[in-house]
Amino acid sequence: MMEVLFNPRSVAVIGASTKELSIGNRVIKNLVDFGYKGRIYPINPKADEVRGIRAFGSILDVQDEVDLVHIVIPNKFVPMAIEDCGKKGVKVVIINSAGFKEIGGEGAELESQAVEKAKEHGIRLFGPNCQGIINTDADVRAYCNFTFTKPETGNISIVAQSGGVGEVINQRFSELGVGVRMYASNGNACDISIPEIIKYWGDDELTRVIVVHIESLPDPGEFMEVAREVAAKKPILAMKTGRTIEGAKAVSSHTGGLAKVDIATELMFRKCGIVTFRDEEELCQAAVAFATQPIPKGNRVGLITNTGGPAIIATDELVEAGLEIPPLSDNAVETLTGKLHAAAAVSNPIDVLATGDAGHFRAAMDTLMDDPQIDSVFLNFVTPFFVDTDSIAKEMAEVNKEGKKPIICNLMTDKAQWTETIRILKASGIPFYSFPETAARALAAMTRYNNLVSREVGTPTIFDDVDAEKAKAQIQTARNEGRELLSADEVFSLLDAYKISTAKWMTASNPEEAVAAAREIGFPVVLKVDAESIVHKSDVKGISLDVGEEEVKTVVEEMEERFAAEKPRFLVQEFLPEGKEIIIGAKAEPGIGHLIVFGLGGVYVEVLEDVAFGITPVTAYEATDLITSVKSHKLLSGFRGEEGVDEKALAEILQRVSQLVTDFPDISEMDLNPVIAYGDRALVADARIRISEE
Amino acid sequence: MMEVLFNPRSVAVIGASTKELSIGNRVIKNLVDFGYKGRIYPINPKADEVRGIRAFGSILDVQDEVDLVHIVIPNKFVPMAIEDCGKKGVKVVIINSAGFKEIGGEGAELESQAVEKAKEHGIRLFGPNCQGIINTDADVRAYCNFTFTKPETGNISIVAQSGGVGEVINQRFSELGVGVRMYASNGNACDISIPEIIKYWGDDELTRVIVVHIESLPDPGEFMEVAREVAAKKPILAMKTGRTIEGAKAVSSHTGGLAKVDIATELMFRKCGIVTFRDEEELCQAAVAFATQPIPKGNRVGLITNTGGPAIIATDELVEAGLEIPPLSDNAVETLTGKLHAAAAVSNPIDVLATGDAGHFRAAMDTLMDDPQIDSVFLNFVTPFFVDTDSIAKEMAEVNKEGKKPIICNLMTDKAQWTETIRILKASGIPFYSFPETAARALAAMTRYNNLVSREVGTPTIFDDVDAEKAKAQIQTARNEGRELLSADEVFSLLDAYKISTAKWMTASNPEEAVAAAREIGFPVVLKVDAESIVHKSDVKGISLDVGEEEVKTVVEEMEERFAAEKPRFLVQEFLPEGKEIIIGAKAEPGIGHLIVFGLGGVYVEVLEDVAFGITPVTAYEATDLITSVKSHKLLSGFRGEEGVDEKALAEILQRVSQLVTDFPDISEMDLNPVIAYGDRALVADARIRISEE
């Protein structure tokens, strides 16, 4: 069906209008102006023709087949129009009209009706409250959209949840003189989804890079599955907006979704291998490079410059983006020496000087292309009036043709004067930019993509020693009793079932049992009161640490008395020696899975907010990545001669937690706090698990 | 002399050339093409004319007065040419030629000669190894520069240390169709300095905003003095490049300076009230707004939009930049209700909908202009084909004319189609941008400037209870003995002299004196060996903590024996109870003063690198700012119900340290580590002071 949406052989417009300034007129104008190769059928019961094209009173009056229909009539007539489309055998309908889910109430009801009608007839819906699609393919030229930007033909395909954002991005490529392959903005997305479109473009040979704008994801799972598959084949550059709470509120009032600060979407992007952006201009400029250049195989950049200051800026920017500017190899230095001006710098950056000519640039480029220590080439090229910049550009084009390594150019020129130099560069496919920062960021984005796709993320380990039945029973007990919070013994039983190492523990119903349990565990012990009504034990002095043999009985008796109303049980635990306190948490993100959080406990989390987030399922690679990416990681790996902790044990807990919450998605929140880590193991000392209401 | 440099009545070019592709020809061509209002004198002993202008064999042959001379001849002839200029009574010379300090050795020698010659004759030098200046003033039209960008007339003045960077910035304003007032790039800056130029523009009424690019500052003190004065009057937007160690190396090989990571320059910018940038494009786009709009009086932005998605992006960006998007006042809501479409959002952002017309936009703008809770207005304006966007732009222009609050516009349009709308907006002086992020950042920069200039930084407190003579004596003793590191008793005497509170201390030469001292101080005590040869006491077990009355003698005897070869003395100190460990440091930054560092000790500094930096002299405001801007500040102000520490005492130590190192600039490094802070005081427990070689 995506094939029909983007390559329709005929398009009808229900609501075609003779009024120049209406959408029902503009869609037809756009199709005609863009040179649409198929047939156009205006549907208008009152007019004989629209923009000189014969109009029909009803879609049913059209004799030929109709692939695609635009509906641009008031919301309440839409379901009826879909019914007509069904009778006619239409395959895809774009509903441009607004007044659906985004206004709630009656609108949402109309949207459901439209979806139902479409399903009945096997019609796929695009929209409503949307712009539509564009396909620049010479054989298609479909501008099924009412907006104003007419893109040139190219290799970038754009899908945007917000039409406004999509238009801004599309417009920017136009301004940059860079072509677009296909465009889509599906508004409320009641049926055809962004993942479906991405999947389609994943198989479209002429799409080299996919640009995605997201405000909210109705089905993150579908998105992840598709994105992971496509991103492995070709770059997906994406931007999620509404990140701040204020921005999220704006999304919410705009789309009717729920407002909350969203960190999961960008984590998900990363997990799938999507290159994430927080700036449209940066995204567009990067897309330009992705559209023509090969992906760098590593982080090492070779620079060539004919001016000092901007090369310094490029250097700052590249280094701050995590790229390296390594020295040239001895071989490279030897090759290049003698081929440049005497005062030129044969180092990295290579400074060929303002008077450097085509031969100098060529020698420098060849050297970098052959240097195995260099992964990509950054040209910093000002056009002095006293050198032949056209022949320099020609040499650049020649080298680029070989396609050995990606080339990016910061071109400092007056575009009105150096027209031929620009023409040559443009024809070559070397992306060129007006600022060293912009060029550097584009190269950094390409390098980021390489790092994402060459990660050995692996697949999640499936631990087969877990006892899922036992775990299920614990959750079921709580659920049966209408509790969201699991009791301490349920929590620890659940952890045991998934072989998540904990401090030794036993339960006791009374002081005598507690004493017996403590004897079995060994002294000193920790005593915790356990009753469903007591959530924050430490707030009510329901925990006693470091309890010796002679005190157990008294402590439990005292607790028993104090909490008599709660009918408490008791948890007797091994009192763990001092170690590094770790926090591991999981929080359900509907549709995505669970957000996993890792950090050092106490001030590191609470004051310094030094935590790392991930998304389930967590692989061994990702678990290690979580542990090493907190700033306080040094404290774990052995600071000031201290023994490091057992990071493998922590990584295993992370993976087992991931498996547990994946097996039981109804665990809404899980906090292991603290986990105490030692040189040879890591043990959960306290934990809380909350399950979602059914 | 700046007046002559930027408004020369006549310009001679020594090295004027008949060769089209030479700088000696291009400077004359540029002057002519730009419509220079003064007289031009090519100096060339072999030609009768250059570009149709009568040439002279020598500057001395010119009859009329010559204000300004370009020198474009090989380096070794330059001093002689300056001699001629002196005889002729020339006031300012621009040396475009290269081959001076930047190549070291002979070049540096030639530069010194040139400076000397110029001084003899009262000539001011600009350059060498530089581009020159541009003045777009209709009465001047001086293009004393060999580059290619011909700016329009405007209110932005640019000074760039790197000609390449200056040209890129100048070119960008040209591309944006935004005018420039004056331009200068002074290369090696052997005489006329960037601060002099900034000072001149500070008094130039038609310069509304000054753009500065810096790679390294030969005289930071001069820069600070000027920048502080000028930034209080008009915005200075600056960028320091070569921030990373790699970038600094590039600066170093480019300018011959010393390579080190530079954090002091940006701190200095901030101290002076300069708006700092790390991206040229962002700087340029912000300058466009500064050039026409009033400065916002606060952080609160009101948004008006006619499209959803981009408004969300604007919101994200503004919030992330620290701006607020407050709700509209009740009054504003009341005023606006009923004046927009029924489905419009009367909130912040105000969504007038895509069908919103001129009246709707006007009503929304008027409301925000009158709402006392709003400091600036962000217009998010897409141009749908079905509304009259020209009249919307006209209303925007009308409101802007009132100049009540700054207005920034994100204009989403096709520039080739909506030409009249764009013309109206451009004429209005409302800055408009192609992306919400860009517009938001420009507004954020203006707000940052307001925050900088409205800070009550105050002047440094001068503590008159200090004993500078006593401090001087300590430093002198070390200096006399050829030591860079002060001994423990010198350090503590110096701190006492500046009333920086320390743990009680006394010195002792032998065990008996140590016992007596300890008795006076009270038990327990800390014992430290003190000898010039022992730098890191703790590494050699030269410190003993928590020493009780009965142990003092033994410990000192043991140390005496172990360090016998070092002929040690001993420091007996009060053993301080546990408190918050703080690090306060100072490090000389030649020309600037001292870098001051503040942080919590131990892992906070060493692992989390959570420190704040400042520049002397530190005022009370700045001291508080340092203390509160570390992320771990919460730990000082009372975390988890703990008592907070005496931040006033810490602030006083910071200010006294600032006064001390300002009084004694030869203190190259000073570390108070740790300072122990309590609820009612803060005491230095250990300290180190290093003085510079003379």
Give the homologous superfamily in CATH for domain B1-146: NAD(P)-binding Rossmann-like Domain (3.40.50.720)
Handedness of CA B276, B281, B286, B287 (dihedral sign): positive
Sole residue written with tokens 């490529």: A173
Domains B302-436 and B580-691 belong to one CATH topology: no
Q: Under CATH, what is the fold of the domain B302-436?
A: Rossmann fold (3.40.50)
- Amino acid at the residue A246: E
Under CATH, to which class is B580-691 assigned?
Answer: alpha beta
% helix, strand, coil for chain B, step of 5: 40, 20, 35
Give the Cα separation of A519 and A503 in Å (integer): 15
Give the Cα separation of A499 and A511 in Å (integer): 29
From chain B, the residues in CB contact with A382 under 8 A are 164, 167
Which has more pLDDT, B259 or B97? Answer: B97
**Residue A673: Cβ within 10 Å count:** 19
Give the Cα separation of A10 and A15 in Å (integer): 16
Give the Cα separation of B292 and B408 in Å (integer): 10
Tell me the shortest Cα–Cα distance from B478 to chain A, in angstroms: 33
Q: Retrieve residue B124's tokens.
A: 């001011």
From chain B, the residues in CB contact with A280 under 8 A are 313, 435-437
pLDDT of residue A590: 83
From chain A, the residues in CB contact with B635 under 8 A are 603, 607
Q: What is the ipTM of this complex?
A: 0.92
A648 burial class (0-12, 13-18, 19+ CB within 10 angstroms)? middle
Give the Cα separation of A429 and A397 in Å (integer): 8
Which residues are within 8 A (CB) of A86 and not within 5 positions of it... i.e. 6 or more apart? A117, A118, A120, A121, A122, A123
Mutate to test the interface with B, among A102, A188, A277, A315 (most CBs of B within 10 A): A315
Tell me the shortest Cα–Cα distance from B164 to chain A, in angstroms: 6
Mean pLDDT of B460-475: 96
From chain B, the residues in CB contact with A608 under 8 A are 608, 610, 631-632
> Is A286 strand, coil or helix?
helix
Q: Check: pTM over 0.80? Answer yes or no.
A: yes
pLDDT of residue A490: 94
Instruction: Going from the first residue of chain A to its last (694 residues), give the mean pLDDT of each consecutive group of 10, the final group possibly shorter.
Output: 96 97 96 98 96 97 97 97 97 96 93 97 97 98 96 97 96 96 96 97 98 92 95 97 81 55 87 96 98 97 96 95 95 95 93 96 98 97 96 98 97 96 97 97 98 93 97 94 92 97 95 94 93 71 89 92 88 95 93 92 88 95 96 89 93 98 96 96 96 82
Q: How big is chain A by its Cα radius of gyration, in Å? A: 32
φ/ψ of residue B617, rounded to 5: -75, 140
Tell me the shortest Cα–Cα distance from B461 to chain A, in angstroms: 32
- Provide the pairing of β-strand B505-508 with B569-574: antiparallel
List the single residue in A with minimal CA-CA distance to B160: A309
> Are the Cβ atoms of B310 and A165 closer than 8 angstroms?
yes
b/e map B639-654, b = 16+ CB within 10 Å: eeeeeebbbebbbbbb
Sole residue written with tokens 């901030």: B270
Tell me the shortest Cα–Cα distance from A278 to chain B, in angstroms: 9
Residue B333 has pLDDT above 70, yes or no: yes
> Are the Cβ atoms of A254 and B280 closer than 8 angstroms?
no
Angle at B3 between CA B2 and CA B7, to 5 degrees: 120
Q: Which of A165, A316, A434 sits opposite B309 (nearest CB)?
A: A165
Tell me the shortest Cα–Cα distance from B261 to chain A, in angstroms: 11
> Are the Cβ atoms of B246 and A319 closer than 8 angstroms?
yes
Give the Cα separation of A287 and A213 in Å (integer): 13
- The percentage of chain B sitting over the pLDDT mark of 90, rounded to a whole number, equals 88
Sole residue written with tokens 């087992």: A656
**pLDDT (tens digit, 9 = 90+) per residue, B514-529?**
999 999 999 999 999 9
Give the Cα separation of B148 and B401 in Å (integer): 35
pLDDT of residue A591: 82
Q: Retrieve residue A193's tokens.
A: 């989804």
Q: Which of B242, B385, B607 sits opposite A635 (nearest CB)?
A: B607
Mean pLDDT of B428-433: 97
Sole residue written with tokens 């003085």: B691
**Least trusted range by pLDDT, from A348-352, B125-129, B567-571:** B567-571
How do the domains of chain B map onto residue ranges? Answer: 1-146, 147-292, 302-436, 504-575, 580-691
Tell me the shortest Cα–Cα distance from B630 to chain A, in angstroms: 10
Tell me the shortest Cα–Cα distance from A532 to chain B, in angstroms: 26
From chain B, the residues in CB contact with A170 under 8 A are none
From chain B, the residues in CB contact with A312 under 8 A are 162, 215, 241-242, 247, 250-251, 254
Residue B230 has pLDDT above 90, yes or no: yes
List the single residue in B with minimal CA-CA distance to A308: B254
Give the homologous superfamily in CATH for domain A1-145: NAD(P)-binding Rossmann-like Domain (3.40.50.720)
**pLDDT (tens digit, 9 = 90+) per residue, B481-510?**
999 999 999 999 999 999 999 999 999 999
Q: Under CATH, what is the fold of the domain B504-575?
A: Dna Ligase; domain 1 (3.30.1490)
Give the Cα separation of B24 and B27 in Å (integer): 6
List the single residue in B with minimal CA-CA distance to A245: B316
Angle at B110 between CA B108 and CA B116, to 5 degrees: 105
**pLDDT (tens digit, 9 = 90+) per residue, B548-563?**
999 999 999 999 998 8
From chain A, the residues in CB contact with B241 under 8 A are 309, 312-313, 316
> Are the Cβ atoms of A437 and B281 closer than 8 angstroms?
yes
Give the Cα separation of B142 and B135 in Å (integer): 5
Q: Under CATH, what is the fold of the domain A300-454?
A: Rossmann fold (3.40.50)
Give the homologous superfamily in CATH for domain B147-292: Succinyl-CoA synthetase domains (3.40.50.261)
List the single residue in B with minimal CA-CA distance to A213: B309
